Amino acid sequence: MTTTVPPGDEVPRGGATRRRAEIACVTAIAVKTVFALALLPLAPSLLGTDPVLLEALRGSTSAMASGGAFARVGEASLVLAVLAPLPTLLFATPFFWWAGRLWGPKAAAMLGGGHPNADKWAQRSGAHLERFGGLAVALAPYLPVPSAFIYAAAGWTGMSLRRFMAFDLLGMLSWIGLIVGLGYAVGHPAVQVAKAISHYALLVTIAVVAIAVAIAVLRTRRAAARATTPTER
């Protein structure tokens, strides 16, 4: 399929310039992934204590549902529960679009991480974009294809970044609204579950930290003992 690249969205063609663009794109996607993994240990404790903060940090489905439930019982702001995850969820999507613009359908290999269905997802994503246009981007959270492939396909099929971001924002708001709304509908029972998870997660975290400290102290003492013991000749 031949596409026309909108003005201002051209891919850098120079060797060094293109290489810098590729490194920046991959780095941004990797940073988002590492950040989400680094915060994973905090998720259980924040889920039942400050789900809106957890939404802002990770934008996870469980955090959004918990945020809606807390808003129902008056322990959080419903407006903040809807708006908090937006920056986190929207951070990486332009870089997925950029990956599609830089590498075309070959971006699926990077995004799929060697998954056997990567090529199939790429073909479906391209087909969704050709058939539905920007609506496919808005529906990305609901489609049976990883959203990253839809966003990348928007790049390689020639969608402008401005148009992409408009549909992406629309889709994210609808998705967040749905999940937060479900949590709001459940209300108190969901809050109780979230608080129970946080309670036991805190105990487990304290135990793990205590064990880790004890092991570190024992290893330090053994190393010190070996260092002070005279060497036999």
Of the candidates 161, 99, 167, 90, the residue with the CA atom closest to the CA atom of residue 128: 167
What's residue 168's pLDDT?
Answer: 96
Least confident of 65-74, 82-91, 95-104, 198-207: 198-207
Q: What pLDDT, on the 0 to 100 scale, is given for residue 7?
A: 47
**33-37, 158-162, 175-179, 182-186: which range is least confident on average?**
33-37
CA-CA distance, 181 to 82, in Å (whole number)? 9
Higher local confidence (pLDDT), 132 or 15: 132
Does the pLDDT value for residue 204 go beyond 80?
no
Res. 99 pLDDT band, cuts 50 70 90: very high
| Integer Cα distance of 184 and 65 in angstroms | 7
pLDDT, one tens digit per residue, over 213-227 is 777 677 666 656 655
